[in-house]
Amino acid sequence: MEYLFFVVCLTAAATDLLWRRIPNIWLGSWFLTGLLLTGLGMVPMQGAGPGAETFLQELWSWQAEIIYLGRAAAAYLLLYPAWRLRVAGAGDVKLGSVMAAFLGLRVFVRSMICSLFFGSILSFFYLVFTKSLRRRMGVFLAWLRQCISNGRWIPYRKERDLDGTIPFAPAVLAGYLVVWSFS
């Protein structure tokens, strides 16, 4: 599954860089493909002796399917607040869910920590290159003061004139590659 997710992540990074979005139909098809492969491949085949169940019943693993769906749901719930606060895109949240479903929550958490590190480096260089670091820091500090003065959390991108979003899928790819190479 690691190589398969590498293909998913590489293509997501390419589409995020080119079009600033990760298509839902593409992520959904990979999610369903992973669900099917999980059910077929996580339980080893047993020998078909006398009294054995039918081939499909022996082959299919409902427990693996439930674990797969649970991991995806847990990752989605962890990343959903970032989307609601408009800190992350919806495609990034769904990509994280597919990652957790494919590879497990431990790899997901490690990869996301590395991805946040790479994303912050990518963001910093983007802001320096576009000469918008000072303006963005001013907008961020004004937003932070507004949140503190109102006593509630306000979505960051709501009604702000910020041009140039930074694609996060390449950072997810880099974080995944670091975790994959050291495991």
Q: Are 99 and 9 in contact (CB under 8 A)?
A: yes
Q: Is residue 112 part of a domain?
A: yes
Six-digit token pair at 51?
């009294």
Asked, for residue 67, whether it belongs to a domain, the answer is yes
3-state SS of the chain: helix, strand, coil percent to 5? 75, 0, 25
Tally of residues, the chain = 183
Tens of pLDDT along 102-161?
999 999 999 999 999 999 999 899 889 988 889 888 888 988 899 899 988 877 765 555
The CA–CA distances, whole Å, from 125 to 118, 131, 133, 166 equal: 11, 10, 9, 11
Tell me if 159 is assigned to some domain.
Answer: no
Query: Between 46 and 10, whose confidence is greater?
Result: 10
Specify if 114 maps to a domain.
Answer: yes
Residues in CB range of 162: below 8 A, 6 or more apart: 136, 139
Q: Convert the pLDDT of each residue in 54-78 to its tens digit.
A: 444 445 567 778 888 999 999 999 9
Query: Do the domain assignments include residue 17?
Result: yes
Band of residue 163 on the pLDDT scale cut at 50, 70, 90: low
| Residue 139 within any structural domain of the chain | no
Q: Lowest-confidence range among 53-67, 90-104, 158-172?
A: 53-67
Mean pLDDT of 161-170: 77
Which pLDDT belongs to residue 61?
60
Element containing residue 109 per DSSP (H, E): helix 105-129
Span 19-47, pLDDT tens digits: 989 999 999 999 998 888 887 764 333 34
pLDDT of residue 49: 42
Say if CB 48 and CB 118 are below 8 A apart: no
Assessment of whether the complete model's pTM goes beyond 0.85: no
pLDDT at res. 164:
64
Between 152 and 86, name the one with better pLDDT. Answer: 152
Looking at residue 86, its pLDDT comes to: 76
In a domain, 138, yes or no: no
User: 6 in a domain, yes or no?
Assistant: yes
Domain of 63 in residue numbering reads as 2-131+167-181
Chain center to CA of 98 = 6
Q: How many domains does the chain have?
A: 1
